[in-house]
Amino acid sequence: MVSDFFLLFLQASLTSMLTGALVWGLLHAAARFWPAVAMGRRVWLLAQLAIAVSFAAVLMPGSAAFSLLPAIELRDAPPASMAAERGQLVDANEADAHTDHDAAGAAAKGSAPDAVHAGTPDDADGGFTSGLLLAGQVWLAVYLCGLFATAARWLRVRRLLSALLAASYALDARTLRLHPGFAREDGAALLEKGLRIRETSAPISPMLLGCLQPMLLLPEHLRGMDPGQQELIVAHELTHWRSRDQLCLHLSLALQTLFWFNPVFSRLREKLALAQELACDRRVLAGRPPVQHKNYAAALLGQLKVQQQSMQTSQYASLAFGGDGLAALGMRIRLIRQPLAARLNWAGRVSLTASLCALLGASILLQPAFAWRGEEQSRTGAAISAAAAIVAEPSGHVAGASGKAPWLKPVRDGRVSSFFGVPRKRAADGANMPAAASIHHGVDFAARTGSEVRAVADGVVAESTDLYAGGEKYGKVVVIEHADGLRSLYAHLDSRSVRPGEHVKAGQLIARSGASGRVSGPHLHLEALKNGEHIDPQTLIANLEQSAFKSALRRRDAANLRPGGSPVSSS
């Protein structure tokens, strides 16, 4: 249902924010014990992916089956027709309060207020559900607006970079041979590998742009530095390119855009960018004498000085060092002078990986599920009246009420995968079952998720719920009352299309099959009851054997059963 998506999206958003806060706290604590975490590019990217997975896991169909917490029961609002009938019932009772009746009328009048008052708790639950649905709808609207605003901001940055590139010029192989920054590089080979190199007069820091087709943009003021400093800075940018850091940054940027409401993503993206810078600094300076370390730090400060001097005159001055970039630059310079351990040790990697997996697992296992439960027939006066009217009709008027009018197949193309009465040793989740539950009380039809499920006969919907009999075993369930004390139950549905009190006709679409509840795969479980006792649906639905799998027939024959679910008597 659409209402399910509103609630799940709200729940997924809250889950991602909580998971993000826990992940951020975990990595912040880990950095205090293992400072090398600051250079772990994979750590910061995997942290973002873990938060995104916690969001997506909530929206995945069937994820609620993994939850260890009890489901939060929500009640469907009554249909408009039922609300109108309930209003008419209240009006009739008010009129009866001023009129004298005979003994039968008095008895009816005494029972009617009970039916009306019985709906009061449901009305309160319905108000809570309506408020929760409204919150989900409002949040989805806010999210879409925020997503649009975030995308628009990134588009403005993209236009700014496009204008910067339009004002730049390309460097060919001959120019690169004369550039001091490429003294140790083969410029022609770089161009042949697809790297485009351009130069601009704008006071920016060197940067690697693009995702699949990267471009190295160098500022003209770089040529004014010492040739050794130029070579170190160019080597740093080329290390980014060879490590494909731009792919990780673009993925991080996409996640930050999608999860704009979660501030942890922006902080993790900054940490990822800093980790990439620190890792490239370490690789560039590896094996070089200390004097070049100092020259490299001086080159970084020189770039910052040039940009600060042109801050008032250039619109591009904020593209490199600004805001948190200043703190990141300070950390880079400190680590250039006093390098950290090259990599995180094995204990740190194992601990961080296990902790992230534990947080991700907890976000799935401790996720409360929303369970929709329609108004009970016993609590709805209109539903009781409708059901009583149906049952009072002659059996010939209701399909499935007699042998002359058998039930229809609930899934038109579904084949029987398990018959009534077949012994079962274990539940779908592998748990042992008591002896009373070891017999299959229905007929299973193989059906893909989303297959149409139709009413087997005319009747009135008694229940439409995610918590049948207060449990989650059956998943989403629809129950229909028919004439002559018959009742049909449809379990493990993917979605429900009817509400309690609705009149349905034989063959009418009432739900779609799925794999909700405790099942091993998608199928439809159909049960038939007569005056509250289970009976074999095969006695009401013709030709089931012709559409059954051979394996289902073999299991039935092995149990020595005959149609009807009873053992075959031996002579």
Q: Once rounded to an integer, what is the mean pLDDT over residues 132-154?
A: 92
Element (H, E) at 446: strand 443-446
Q: List C-alpha distances in Å: 454 to 226, 493, 504.
A: 80, 12, 9
Q: Does pLDDT of 315 surpass 80?
A: no
- pLDDT band of residue 407 (cuts 50, 70, 90) is very high
| Average pLDDT score over residue span 91-98 | 43
pLDDT reported for residue 371: 57
Quick check: 100 pLDDT over 50?
A: no
State the Cα–Cα distance between residues 253 and 268, nearest whole angstrom. 10
Tokens of 424: 């079962």
DSSP class of 566: P
**Residue 60 binned pLDDT confidence (cut-offs 50, 70, 90):** confident
Report the predicted TM-score, pTM, of the whole model to 2 decimal places.
0.64
Q: Helices 103-118 and 80-96: crossing angle, nearest 10°?
A: 140
Asked if 93 contacts 116 with a C-beta cutoff of 8 angstroms, the reply is yes
Q: What is the mean pLDDT of residues 363-369?
A: 72
Query: Is residue 350 pLDDT above 60, yes or no?
Result: yes
Q: What percent of the chain has pLDDT over 90?
A: 32
Residue 143 has a pLDDT of 96
Tell me the pLDDT of the chain averaged across its residues.
77
Whole-angstrom CA distances from 413 to 225, 445, 521, 526 are 77, 9, 17, 15
The answer to whether 378 and 451 are in contact (CB under 8 A) is no
Mean pLDDT of 104-126: 43
> Which pLDDT value is given to residue 458?
93
* Predicted confidence (pLDDT) at residue 307 exceeds the cutoff of 50: yes
Q: Could you tell me the end-to-end alpha-carbon distance of the chain, in angstroms, rounded to an integer?
A: 54
pLDDT value at residue 73: 60
pLDDT surpassing 50 at residue 348: yes
pLDDT for 477 beyond 90: yes
CA distance 100 to 321: 88
Q: What is the mean pLDDT of residues 58-70?
A: 70
Residues 370, 427: contact at Cβ < 8 Å? no
Average pLDDT over residues 269-290: 88
Give the span between the Cα atoms of 187 and 179, in whole angstroms. Answer: 9
What CA–CA distance (Å, rounded) separates 419 from 416? Answer: 7
Give the pLDDT score at 16: 92
State how far the Cα of 181 lies from the Cα of 237, in Å rounded to an integer. 11
Whole-angstrom Cα distance, residue 326 to residue 312? 17
Quick one: pLDDT band at residue 564, thresholds 50, 70, 90?
low
Instruction: Using pLDDT thresholds of 50, 70 and 90, give the confidence band for residue 349.
Output: confident
Tokens of 500: 């309690």
Q: What is the 3-state secondary structure (H, E, C) of 68-135?
A: CCCCEEEECCCCHHHHHHHHHHHHHHHHHCCCCCCHHHHHHHHHHHHHHHHCHHHHHHHHHHHHHHHH
Q: CA 216, 219, 220, 221 torsion: positive or negative? A: negative
pLDDT greater than 60 at residue 345: yes
Please tell me what DSSP assigns to residue 241. H
Strands 370-373 and 72-75: parallel
